[in-house]
Every structure is written in C-alpha cells, then in structure tokens.
Amino acid sequence: MVYLSFLLRRMGLSVFVLVGVLILTFIVSRVIPSNPAALYAGARPRPEQVEEIEKKLGLDKPLTEQFRVYLADLLDGDLGESYHSRRSINTDLSIFLPATLELVIAAVVIALVFGIPIGTLAGAYPRSPFDYATRFVAIAGVSVPSFWLALIAQSVFFSQLGWLPLGSRISRDATLFYPIAAQTGFYLIDAAISGNWDAWFDALHHLILPALVLSAYPLGVTIRMTQASMLEVLSETYITAARAAGLSRPVILFKLALKNAIMPALTVVGLSFAYSITGAFLVEVIFSWPGVGKYVTEAVLNVDFPVIIAVTLVVTVFYIGVNLAVDLIQALLDPRVRLI
C-alpha cells in the first residue's frame, strides 16, 4: 500500500512536469517573433499564399483553440509536420531516434561496466595511487567538453592510429554489400536478428568512438558517486564485524558493501542516461551520426519550430520516464525511499 501511494505520487508529479513543458513549448512557439506560415510557404511567399497556409495550419484561430488542437494531435500521437522538409515528424523520429538511443545506451553501458568496479576499488583503497588516478579520470570526464574530446579522439584514433572510423553510423561498403534490414532501427539488433554479421561488426566499429566520447561524463559521475558511497559504507559497523568474522575482501566489497553503496550510483546513472540524450547532440554532429542531435541541429538552422518543439517533448518524456523508473527501482530496493 505504501509502495502504491509512492508510485501514484511520483506519477502525478511526472504528469505535472509534462503538462508544464507542453504549455511552455506551445507558448514559446507562438511568442517567438516569426511567421510559421511564411516559413512553411518557403522563400518569398505571396501574401495570399501565407494567408492560405495560416488557415491550413489553424494559425488564424484563437490561441485557446490552437492549444486544444495541439493537445488533441499529441494525444493521437501526431507530432506534426516539418515546415522545412514537409515530412511527418513521427516518420523522421522513427529513423533518427533509434540511432541516438543506440549511441546513448552504449555510452551508459560503458559507464556502468567500468565505472562501478573502478569506483568500488577506489573506495576500498583510499589515498592510494589508484585512488588519485581514479579521481583525475573522473574529474576529467565530467569537466572536459564533449565536442573537444570528440575532436581529440578523431585526431588520435582516426588520423594518427587509423584504428577507428572518422564518423557515420556504417560504412558505404557495408551499405552496398551488406545492407541491414530495418526492423527496430537499432543497427546492432537488426543485423544480429538477420544474421548479417559483416554489417554488425562494421556498425560496432563505427559505434565505439562516439560511444566512448559520450560515456566520459556518465563514467566520471558513476566513478565518483560509487567511490563516495563505498567510503561511507565501509565505515559502517556491520563491515567491521564482517572483517572481524574473517570474510574475504572481495566478499566484503562486492557482496556486502556494494549492495548498499550502489543506490546513489543508480540514481546518477539514470540521470546520466537522460542527460546523455541531450549531450549526444554535439557528438552526433561531429561524428556525422544520423541521430536526433543532427536532426534538431538542422531544424535550428532552418528555424523549423515544429521539429524543435517535438524533439523537446520527446527528450522531456525520456527524462521523466527515466527519473520515474529510477525512483521506482530505488523504492523496491530500499523501503525507506517510499516514505519520502
């Protein structure tokens, strides 16, 4: 019953935030000094063309009626149409969003796989050379701008070493000779489902460098949070009792201490996942990765407001969804959270 009450409170708060973003994006799209009908009509439109498009888009109606139509379309799952390309935004996002999610998921997996063990060991050996090296890596990962790190990574791993490709999601040769049959939009999944292993390895080869760059921030945060939590947990009485009982150090670290220390790290990883969706924008542009970042960048350059607003809403939904999921996982693992 307590968990159900907690769930309803968190869901209510999430709905409140989402409604606020909906209202804000609608107001911004109407307040910005521009003429959407003129943008939709193209270069040098005639006044009668603009007037006709205003009626087509419903811009001649009162704001309250426009907002009602806006909400009705969203509830139907219709994000609108791009003023620049005249394509459905739903169709565009079905192409670009999986590319971004594949990149972000890979970055977060890298952060988890390396961040939690490194943070655990750094917390277990404070003031050691490993601890100081870990602190340096974590602070650098959080502080270094992603676009600068991306350029350095391209210079080192492509220009100098030649180990990894410069950019794009897959090579031209793979596109021509080993085309991936689109099913989910995730190249690694689609290639694996069809048994197209040549394309799978090619896609993985292209994914490594941008994923490593994007993982720098969540990796740094995960290391620091895990390390700080481990230092706190290792000072607890039950850890001292476990040591006195003769339990081995790996058992104490990874079975007893990490179980309680991982809670803050989970929260940070969840927030980092949501943050990485927006943080991927610059990385996608630099690596020519055909994701949402590149899509919205072109929309900004073309003053394509429907696309900008739609991407804002989609990112907000992911942010809210991830935060809600993290809250629910925390509540399941720690009953004390349910009372907050």
Percent of the chain with pLDDT over 70: 87
- Name which residue leads in pLDDT, 85 or 195: 195
Q: Which residue has the tokens 């929260």?
A: 267
Instruction: Kindly tell me if the per-residue pLDDT of 114 is higher than 60.
Output: yes
pTM of the model: 0.80
How far apart are alpha carbons 123 and 56 in whole angstroms? Answer: 62
Instruction: Kindly tell me if the per-residue pLDDT of 45 is higher than 70.
Output: no
Q: Which tokens sit at 26?
A: 């609608």
CB 53 within 8 A of CB 40: yes
- Name which residue leads in pLDDT, 189 or 228: 189
| Segment among 40-54, 60-74, 95-109, 123-137 with least mean pLDDT | 40-54
Instruction: Kindly tell me if the per-residue pLDDT of 1 is higher than 60.
Output: no
Instruction: Kindly tell me if the per-residue pLDDT of 94 is higher than 80.
Output: yes
Instruction: Kindly tell me if the per-residue pLDDT of 56 is higher than 80.
Output: no
Q: Which residue has the tokens 């179980």?
A: 259
Instruction: From 81, 100, 135, 147, select the one nearest 292 (Cα to Cα).
Output: 100
Range among 81-90, 194-203, 297-306 with highest mean pLDDT value: 194-203
Name the β-bridge partners of 81.
88
Range among 47-61, 109-123, 202-216, 257-271 with highest mean pLDDT value: 202-216
Residue 6 confidence class, pLDDT cut points 50, 70, 90: low
How far apart are alpha carbons 327 and 17 in whole angstroms? Answer: 15
Instruction: From 254, 183, 114, select the one nearest 192 (Cα to Cα).
Output: 183
Residue 210: what pLDDT?
92
Q: Which tokens sit at 141?
A: 């990962």
Instruction: Kindly tell me if the per-residue pLDDT of 337 is higher than 60.
Output: no
CB 211 within 8 A of CB 103: yes
Residues 6+ apart with CB under 8 A from 206: 164, 165, 167, 168, 169, 170, 171
Residue 128: what pLDDT?
85
Average pLDDT for the chain = 80
Residue 209: what pLDDT?
92
| Segment among 45-54, 281-290, 317-326 with least mean pLDDT | 45-54
Instruction: Kindly tell me if the per-residue pLDDT of 284 is higher than 80.
Output: yes
CB 79 within 8 A of CB 313: yes
| 203-252 confidence digits (pLDDT tens) | 899 999 999 998 888 888 888 888 888 877 777 777 777 777 777 777 77
Q: Which tokens sit at 214?
A: 């994007």
Residues 6+ apart with CB under 8 A from 132: none
Q: What is the CA radius of gyration of the chain?
A: 24
| 294-319 confidence digits (pLDDT tens) | 888 888 777 777 888 888 888 888 88
Backbone angles phi, psi at 88, to 5 degrees: -70, 130
Q: What one-character-per-residue DSSP string does 218-241 give?
A: HHHHHHHHHHHHHHHHTTSHHHHH
Residues 6+ apart with CB under 8 A from 276: 104, 107, 108, 214, 217, 218
Report how far apart, in Å, the C-alpha atoms of 114 and of each of 109, 215, 218, 273, 316 are.
8, 10, 11, 15, 28
Q: Is 291 exposed, middle or buried (0-12, 13-18, 19+ CB in 10 A)?
A: buried
How far apart are alpha carbons 242 and 247 in whole angstroms? Answer: 6
| Segment among 30-34, 156-160, 179-183, 207-211 with least mean pLDDT | 30-34
| 16-30 confidence digits (pLDDT tens) | 888 888 888 777 766
